[in-house]
Chains A and B, each alone.
Chain A
Amino acid sequence: MIFPSCKEVSHLVSQGLDRRLGFADRVRLRVHLAICDGCTNFKRQMEFLRRAVRKLESGNF
């Protein structure tokens, strides 16, 4: 599907933190994120979560 659902996009966003997505998936993500605030917020929050756990790991808070 060229137009993935939010459900599919949220899985791809998470996988994008663990592996390099293929070209087609990257394009589908970009197209979807350009028009979807919910998934854009989800993606930013996933990246924030990574920063937060890194800081938790460092013990400097």
Chain B
Amino acid sequence: MEDFRKRVEAERPYLLRYAGRQLRDRDAAEDAVQETLLAALAGEAAFAGRSNLRTWLTGILKHKIIDAIRRASRESPAPDPDSADLDAALFDQSGHWVDPPPAWPDPDASLEQSQFFAVLEQCLGRLPAKTAQAFLMREHMGCETGEICKELGLTATHCWVLLYRARAALRECLQANWFQR
């Protein structure tokens, strides 16, 4: 029991980073992690036999994060996303790229560098809140689009627009701050 508690506590920093990225609110992230740790300690028996503690804890945390997102969305519903500005910056009137994306030589080599992930986190931090939330629910937590739309109170089309906007903005940010250095 004592050993299990220590192992669970040791995952707190990882879980806090995870929740902070997704919720962008230190207090909300702390709450979600605290609830997760309490649920984990109460449910030690449910962990028995599973090999990866971090994966198990992250699974619990995802539910707590989605609860927090649901509460927040009820208080301030997402505004209708509008990608017209972004499209106007990226494409000319006939729909051609203003600056066609150049190839990134060996991008996967970046995945071995911790500095790359620092830049990626900065780029994520620059996204508008709802856009970042939808994107991270999709790519970070692995939610299906249907679940994201439901929790954020968006139509499927609006969801796709938000995800597109996040991806295109992140591409621009990585282009400018990492691949073009």
Contact = CB atoms under 8 A, between A and B. Distances in A.
Chain B interface size, under 10 / 10 to 19 / 20 to 34 / 35 or more: 35 or more
Contacts of A5: 91, 94-96
A49 B170 contact: yes
Give the secondary structure class of B's interface: helix
A18 B18 CA distance: 22
Contact of B120 (A14, A17, A50, A56): A56
A8 B103 CA distance: 20
Interface size class of A (residues with CB under 8 A): 20 to 34
A6 B108 contact: no
Contact of B91 (A7, A50, A54): A7
Interface string A1-30: 000011110110011011100000000000
Interface string A22-60: 000000000000000111011011101111111111010
Contacts, number: 102
A19 B145 contact: yes
A25 B16 CA distance: 41
Interface stretch (B33-41, B43-51, B74-82, B159-167): B159-167
Nearest to A56: B117
A49 B138 contact: no
Contacts of A61: 111-114, 116-117
A46 B167 contact: yes
Interface in B91-110: 91, 94-97, 100-104, 107-108, 110
A57 B140 contact: yes
Nearest to B136: A53
A54 B139 CA distance: 7
7 contacts: A7-B87, A10-B164, A44-B104, A44-B107, A45-B101, A50-B139, A52-B110
Given A45-B174, A46-B167, 11 more contacts: A5-B95, A6-B96, A7-B87, A14-B160, A14-B168, A18-B163, A19-B160, A41-B101, A42-B101, A57-B141, A59-B54
